[in-house]
Amino acid sequence: MNNGEKVVIDTNVLVSALWSENGNSAEIIKMIPNDIVPCFGDSIFEEYTEVLNRPKFAFSTNKKEELLAKMKEFGEAVTPEKSDIPLPDETDRVFYDTATASGATLITGNKKDYPDEPFILTPAEFLRKKNAV
């Protein structure tokens, strides 16, 4: 069993990681499985798959499949209760609820889509926090 920090990774972080192999988002993906454990449920994984396969991104099939396989192999399945906290985009609720249910850090490139909570960090903030430990 991996004892890395539990994280919920918003889909925009996966997109950024595939766009730029040297950016903060890619650095976070490289932390799997040694330092972090991605937490997700079926609906999150379905969103990952759907978004990464959008033709507008034109990501290589190998890179998408490798990323999704890594997430699935080293991740932890979570089935959260649905919260009633107000969110600007209802599709983000499952990420928020999964993070709260699993005691995980939610890593997102769009903090404005979530409440101002200390467990919600941008990729840069998360890396700064990890490097400070």
- Higher-scoring residue by pLDDT: 3, 104: 104
Query: What pLDDT is recorded for position 1?
Result: 47
Query: What pLDDT is recorded for position 109?
Result: 97
Q: In Å, what is the CA distance from 95 to each residue of 47, 51, 102?
A: 11, 15, 11
Helix, coil or strand: residue 38: strand
Containing 116, the helix (H) or strand (E) segment is none
- 97-132 pLDDT, tens digit each: 999 999 999 999 999 999 999 999 999 999 999 888
Write down the mean pLDDT value for the chain.
Answer: 95
